[in-house]
Structure formats: C-alpha cells, structure tokens
Structure 1
Amino acid sequence: MDNGSKTEKATPKKRRDERKKGNIFSSKDIGTVLSLAMVFFTIKAMFPIIYKKVAGCIYHYINGVYEIQTLSLTISREILIDAMMNIAVIMVPIFSVSILAAVIGVGAQTRFLFSKDSLKPKFNRLNPLEGIKKIVSLKSFIEVLKGLIKITIIGYILYMFFRDRAGDLIKTLFLGIEASVSYVLNSVMSMVYMVCIVFVFIAGFDFLYQRWDYERQIRMTKQEVKEEYKQMEGDPKVKGKIKELQRKMAMSRMMQSVPDADVIIRNPTHYAVALKYDIKKDAAPYVVAKGQDELALRIVYVAEQNGVYVIENRELTRAIYAASSLDQEIPLEYYGAVAEILALVYRIREKNLQK
C-alpha cells in the first residue's frame, strides 16, 4: 500500500513544472572553478599591460609630488579620481571575465533558465523550524564537509608552495622589479594550476551530488503519479463512463437506422446485418447496422416491427459482419449475393403493392 513515501521518479511533467518554478540543480563549484581559472589566466595574459600601467602610475604620482606646492581638497580629489580610473582600467576586464565565466558555468548547467517564481518572496523561509531542519540536514553536512576539504587542500598547497620556494622568494629581493614580479606570477600560476585540478574533481563530485539530491527532492509518491496521470489523461472511471455513453449513443443512432434499411440478413440468432441501397445515390449497398447475439436479436425485432424484410443467410451474414464497418460499403466479392437478395426483396415489395 502507498504510505506516502516518495519512491517514484519524477515524471516529465513534474520536471517541467519544477523548472518553471526555478527549482533546478546546479553546482556552484563549477562556476567557482571556472571563474577562478579565468581570472588568473586573464591576469597572466594582461601582465605586460598591468605592469606598464602600474609602473607608469607609480612614476607619475612620485614625480607629481614635487610639483604640488599645497595639497588642497581639490588636488586630493583629482588624484583619487585619477587613481580610481587607472585601477578600473586594470580591474574591469578581470572582473568582467570573472562574472562571464561564472555566468557560463551556471548557465551551461541550467540552460540559462530565468524564472520569475524564484524572485517571489517566500515567507515559509522565515519559519525557524525549517531553518533548523536545513542546518541539520544531509545537504548542510555535505556543504560543511566540502568547505573543510577545500580549506585543507588550499592550506596544504600554500604550505607546499612556501616550503619549496621560500629561498627563491627571498632571492627575488635582489632582482629587478619586472623579474621579481614575473617569477612570483609564474609561481602563483603553478599553484593555481594545482588548485584548479583538485577543484575540478571537487566540482565533479559536487555536480553528481547536486543531481542526486535534486532527484531525491523531486521524487513523487505513487498517489501523486496517479493524480498527475488523471489530470493529463483524465480519470479512468470518467473516461470509461464517457466511452460507455458514446457507445450507447452510437448504438441508439444505429438502431434508429434499422427501420430505413432495405433488408436484414441474419444467422439465425447470433449475427444480424442491416443493409441499405439507393440505386440513384449509392455506388453499392452499405451497412447501416450490425450486431451479435442480443444486439442481433434487437435489430431483427426492430426490423420486423417496422416491416423490414429479414432473410436468413448464415455464411453471407458472418462474412459481411466481419468484413464491413458501419456506414461502409460491403466488399466487392459480396455484390452478387447481396444483389440477389435485394432483387428478391424488391419483387416481394412489388407483389405486396399490387395486392
């Protein structure tokens, strides 16, 4: 029995509804790793420009000190604005690359989904009980564990970096500025390579975990699956009643056509077929009603009550019943046999009219 446990995988409709709400899974670590890597690669690529810009600014400000007679508020403001503009020239491309990488990292996972529902205020988040549940949940434990692993890895890499390069870093004090900065940058980039490689594995694990956790959250109970099926396909009981009503209406229309038939052929109680043929309009005789067992008897009864001729022909009746549908012309191979029956019916009618 269904005890309300969510044991069923989410249906496609459930997934579409959750996506419309903005409830999708994504790994923040993928965006973080991509952003971190792109920032450092951008710094390395822009290093010659950054070096020239910083050196030029330092030279400009040091020389400008000798030209300032009195440091007024206006001059201080001009120096600050100029310094901020120079910093912006360096930092804006780096920040832009970082933001773009983060957007691509998340967008590639979510297919750049934007949902208005996720922007709506949700007051249930203010519930302290829900907050406590989130704190002590498995997801929170995993996040804390990931944080500890990241801190441990970064700490270990920093320790190895300074341990192996402490002597070389001290020697940079005796080198030129450009050579010193270049050596430090290359050393930092080698450390970033190591961090990125490790973080790629962490991001891969996080992606798999987030997908597993998302699938677990959107699971459905058996009752929910049934209710969704009813909403999409209709209640089976209602559909059954509709089909039964349609069948009764079709039967009623069929029985109403029996009095207009030219002849009923039967076998003798199991099958009955009502045929009609108008030589001016119809290319061939066609079936206006047919039935088996009880329905066949009802067709015969209605025909007799309305003066329609009933003729017994076992083989022909079963053959036409099996090969023809309602309002469909009989097959070509039965034209001859049916023509003989209709000719007999027409002769009987003429004799009755002459009396």
Structure 2
Amino acid sequence: MAGEKTEKASSKKRRDERKKGNVFQSKDVITVGVIAISFIILRIWMPNIFRFTKNALVKYISLIGTTTYINDRFIVRTFKDIAVTIFQSAGILFISIIIITIILTGAQTKFLISKETIKIKFSKISPLKGIKKMFSIRSLVELAKNLIKISILAYIIYSTISKVLFEVPKLVDVALMSGIKFIFSTILLLVKNVVIAFVAISAFDYLFQWWEYEKNIKMSKQEVKEEYKQLEGDPQVKGKIKEKQRAISMTRMMQQVPKADVIIRNPTHFAIAIKYDLELDSAPIVLAKGKDNIAKKIIEKATENNINMIENKPLARALYNSAEINHEIPLEYYEPIAEILAWVYKLKEKERH
C-alpha cells in the first residue's frame, strides 16, 4: 500500500521528531541504573551512616535520664540535630540519585529540552484516545512487564526475608548497633538481588523501546519522496525558477546591447556585443552574446540603436565559446578585436565630419 510505513526514518525525520521532543529512551534502564549506582554509593558510605546514626542515638538516649524540662529551644535544637544527621547520612545519596538520573536520561536523549513536550495538548486527555491506548500493543507490553516486575520483586523479597527470618528473634539479645547493622545488611542484600534481576528486565525494555520508537517514526514511500522534494526542491518549481532567472538575465543582457561599440556576428548564428572604454576598461568587455534566436534578438536590438556590426564567422564563434558576459575578452583575441575597434572608431569619426 502507498501509505504503508515501510522505510527507515531519514536524518531529517529524526531531527524533526527530536524537535518535537519525541526521542528514544528506556525508563527501566534509568531506574535500574539509579538503584545499582545508589547501591554502590550506599555500600561505600555505610560506615559513615552508622557513625552519624550512632552519635545521634547515643546523644539523645543519654538525655532521657537527665532531661527534666523540655522547652522550645530544646525542640528546635533536636529537630536541627535530626535534620543534620539525616543530611549527613542520606544527603550524598539523594544528590547522587539526582545526578545519576540526569546523566542516564541525558545519555539517551542527548540532553534534549523541547518546548513541545511542555505544551498543553488537550488531545492527550481525550477519553477516546485514552481507551485506544489502554488496548494498544504498548499498553499490553507495559502491563505484562509490570506483572513480571511485581512477581520477581515479590519472589526476591520472600526468598531474601525467609533466609534471614530465623535470625530476627536473636536481635532481642544483641546490642542496638548490631541490630541496625543487621537490618541495613538485609536491605542491601535485598537491593542487590533486585538489581541483578531487574538488569535483565531493563535490557528487554531497552530493546523493546528502541524497536517501538523505530517502528513509530518509519516513513511511507510517499513521505520519503515528499521529503526529498523539500530538500532538493521540486523539479517543476526549480525549472520555473531557472526559467525566470534566464529571462531576467536575458533582459539585463539585452539592455546592455545599446551600450556596445560593435556587434561581431556570424552572420545570424552568433552575435557578440563588444564595448571598450579607454579610460575605464583595461581590455574590451563582452556586454552580450547569443546563438540562433538570441543572436537574432541582439542583432535586432543593435539595428534599432544604430550599433556598428561586422561579420567575422571564426571570431564570432570563438568569442561565443570562450568569452564570458561582463568579462574581458580572452588575451588571444586582443589583436583582432583591436583591429575591429579601430575600424569602428574610423567610421564614427567619418560620421562626425
């Protein structure tokens, strides 16, 4: 079918889609990347988290036995200490998550910021389109993917907790910090297992998103032709433009014929209009040249303006092939043209007398 999209998207199509904010990216890759890198940072930063938490707990547990009066200053100081402890413990993690998200998103979108994506489009809240999206291939894939994620997540949580569940009763007899370390290590083990499992899902999601994006931006053969016309120019339009340019050039050239000193012709096949101003020009200038019908028009224009004409078949043909309009004649024709111009000047001198 003519409208069937079977062709790969062109570079222009990709640039246009990018301007609209339609770029390829996998959110699962970003999610897994954030979790994985955050996990590594958490492992490295964990001793500091223990230290900050321990200092805060020791400080305020010790105050339980000595504090008899609580006022506004005490509450404000307490909240400040808690805020500082939280920032010291988790601040670097929060900042890292923001930076990682920006980097992973930018790596896929090439840091695209498009005005089109922030425009309000009422078509997006259309109930009909919403229903269509619910039963699209994308929605079904997303549903299947989410069900798989939930199932894997539930299994990992169950298997991880079941392995350490028998250790929980023993926490009653251990020190507070040991209990906290146990909880943190369990959480890290859980995150590690989740990351390993979700890497496979993110790889699948990346391939699916790439396949769907490429499919959506495919072009029909007609679209490829239309784009080619836009880039290269419609042949009909280009032809008309060239025709108009030729007409303008012809008009300008014919307007210069009355300024010529002499027309060298052959006798009707070629016509060359020559002008030479001793004070302004270093060599004779070709004002106009033409072949067949154009030559005929040059001769007619010259006759109307009483321009001297001379027949010289070899010279007319040679100048037509080698000389350019509004340029000096080639060096090898200086001598014959000089002789012709001398003849013209003699005729003009006789006419004056």
User: Under TM normalisation by the shorter chain, which class is it?
Assistant: 0.7 to 0.9
1:284–1:330 contact (8 Å) kept in structure 2: yes
1:252-308 Cα shifts (integer Å, max 9, x gaps): 221222232222222333222111112232211111111111111222232233332
Alignment of 1:107-126 (within 5 A): 107-126=106-125
**Shift of residue 159, structure 1, vs aligned partner:** 5.1
Q: Contact conserved, 2:56 with 2:82, CA < 8 A, in 1?
A: no
Identify which range, 298-307 or 83-92, moves more after superposition.
Answer: 83-92
Do the aligned partners of 1:26 and 1:110 also contact (CA within 8 Å) in 2?
A: yes
Q: Where does structure 2 lack aligned partners over 5 or more consecutive residues?
A: none
After TM superposition, the structure 1 stretch with the greater mean CA deviation from structure 2, 292-301 or 326-335, is: 292-301
Q: Which moved more, 1:193-202 or 1:248-257?
A: 193-202
Write the mapping of 1:9-24 to structure 2, written as runs, cut at 5 A: 9-24=8-23
Label 1:195 to 1:345 Cα distance change in 2 as closer, same or farther (>3 A). Answer: same
SS of the equivalent of 2:306 reads coil
Instruction: Please identify, of 5-14 and 237-246, the stretch whose mean Cα deviation from structure 2 is larger.
Output: 5-14
Paired residue for 2:328?
Answer: 329
Matched, 1:289 2:288: yes
Q: CA deviation at 1:213?
A: 2.6
Q: Is the 8 A contact 1:287 1:327 kept in 2?
A: yes
Change (3 A) 1:198 1:321: farther
Which residue does the alignment assign to 1:212?
211
- What is the TM-score of this pair, normalised by structure 2? 0.81
Deviations 1:43-87 (A, max 9, x none): 3223223223333444444444444668x8979966984685344
The match for 1:264 is 263
* Partners of 1:147 and 1:240 in 2: CA distance: 57
Letter paired with 1:302: K
CA–CA distance in structure 1, aligned partners of residues 237 and 222 of structure 2: 18
- 1:224 deviates by 5.3
With 27-36 and 51-60 compared, the bigger mean Cα shift is at 51-60
SS in 1 for 2:328: coil
Equivalent residue runs for 1:185-224 within 5 Å:
185-186=184-185, 188-221=187-220
The corresponding residue for 2:127 is 128
Q: Look up the equivalent residue of 1:335 and give its one-letter code.
A: Y
Distance of 1:325 and 1:77 partners within structure 2: 94
Q: Report the alpha carbon displacement of residue 151 of structure 1 after superposing the two structures with TM.
A: 3.0
Following TM superposition, by how much is the alpha carbon of 1:33 offset from its aligned partner in structure 2, in angstroms? Answer: 1.5
Q: Shift of residue 130 of structure 1?
A: 0.6
Q: Which range moved further: 286-295 or 186-195?
A: 186-195
CA distance in 2, matches of 1:24, 1:139: 16
Could you say what secondary structure the match of 1:33 adopts? helix
Deviation at 1:226, TM superposition (A): 6.1
1:105: Cα distance to partner?
1.9
Please name the residue that 2:37 is paired with: 38
Secondary structure in 2 aligned to 1:272?
strand
Superposed displacement of residue 129, structure 1: 0.9
How do 1:4-83 residues align onto structure 2 when only pairs under 5 Å count?
5-67=4-66, 81=79
- Amino acid across the alignment from 1:146: K
Q: Give the TM-score normalised by structure 1.
A: 0.80
Conservation of the 8 A alpha-carbon contact between 2:265 and 2:309: yes
Distance in 2 between residues matched to 1:267 and 1:323, nearest whole Å:
16
2:39·2:192 contact (CA, 8 Å) conserved in 1? Answer: no
* Paired residue secondary structure (2:287): strand
User: What displacement does 1:186 show?
Assistant: 4.8
Distance 2:77 2:283 in 1: 103
Cα deviation, residue 339, structure 1:
1.7
Verify the 8 A CA contact 1:161 1:191 in the aligned structure 2.
Answer: yes
Structure 1 residues 68 and 173: CA distance shift in structure 2, 3 A:
closer
**2: distance between equivalents of 1:190 and 1:177?**
20
Distance verdict in 2 for CA 1:319–1:168, change over 3 Å: farther
1:31·1:103 contact (CA, 8 Å) conserved in 2?
A: no
- 1:302 and 2:336 equivalent? no
Q: 1:176–1:249: structure 2 CA closer, same or farther, 3 Å change rule?
A: same
Asked whether the 8 Å contact 2:49–2:88 carries over to 1, the reply is no
C-alpha separation between the residues in 2 aligned to 1:204 and 1:279?
Answer: 81
Partner of 1:98: 97
Preserved contact between residue 43 and residue 94 of structure 1 (Cα < 8 Å): yes
